[in-house]
Chain A
Amino acid sequence: NAGVMQNPRHLVRRRGQEARLRCSPMKGHSHVYWYRQLPEEGLKFMVYLQKENIIDESGMPKERFSAEFPKEGPSILRIQQVVRGDSAAYFCASSPGEGVEAFFGQGTRLTVV
């Protein structure tokens, strides 16, 4: 049973480009969470999705950031027109809907140059 898969592991984008981060939850998990980790900081919640629905996006910046979790395929976190301040590690976690939210992906490290 594969764990939560995130790709790419590392992503470099120039200012103004778009970044697309992908997260495939564990098999059987229909709940996905995205978190952002700035250097020397803990993780900060961004968005919580279930299949085809955004449940809570209270941690998402209002502009340039969007997330989706389609019926088929991975969850996508999209950052448009990236700026240097978007450089961070982005983690995805999945859960089956109950039980401990213990399963994180390895993260995508975004660097904006």
Chain B
Amino acid sequence: AQKITQTQPGMFVQEKEAVTLDCTYDTSDQSYGLFWYKQPSSGEMIFLIYQGSYDEQNATEGRYSLNFQKARKSANLVISASQLGDSAMYFCAMRQGGNQAGTALIFGKGTTLSVSS
């Protein structure tokens, strides 16, 4: 069965520091996609970054990068130069079949990130 595990309920970091949010996944599929979403206190879900299982390069989007280690089945999110506005809940999610619609996302339980000045 597919599963996403986020083992850090909460993380604390100072402004301008980098932080890594852990995510491990379990699937028997060869083709899958991994996503990270940010949920601020206002509640909306904001897409951050996507990594396909066949992508050889780690995905990057601005200050966000995804440290994809396929053999370890991990997809950690790295946020460089943290900002106060990064304080939020972060969810790792997986979809079978990679980038195609048709199957739903499976979410982890999330990690709360708190950035202090």
The 9 closest A-B pairs by CB, nearest first: A42-B107, A102-B47, A45-B104, A104-B45, A106-B44, A95-B101, A43-B107, A31-B101, A42-B109
Bound form: Cα–Cα A104–B47 in Å? 8
Q: Which residue of A lies closest to B39 (CB)?
A: A37
Q: List 16 A-B contacts (CB under 8 A).
A: A31-B101, A33-B104, A42-B93, A42-B108, A45-B106, A56-B103, A56-B104, A93-B45, A95-B101, A96-B101, A100-B33, A100-B47, A101-B35, A101-B105, A106-B43, A107-B45
- Interface residues as binary, A53-84 with B (CB distance below 8 Å gives 1, 0 otherwise): 00110010000000000000000000000000
Q: How close is B57's CB to chain A, nearest CB, in angstroms?
A: 16
- Given A42-B91, A42-B108, A43-B107, A104 and B44 contact (CB-CB distance below 8 Å): yes
Chain B contact residue count (CB 8 A cutoff):
26
**CB-based contact B45/A91 at 8 Å:** yes
Q: Which residue of B lies closest to A9 (CB)?
A: B43
Q: Which residue of A lies closest to B52 (CB)?
A: A100
- Given A101-B101, A102-B50, A104-B44, A44 and B107 contact (CB-CB distance below 8 Å): yes
**CB-based contact B35/A100 at 8 Å:** yes
Residues of A contacting B107 with CB < 8 Å? Answer: 35, 42-44
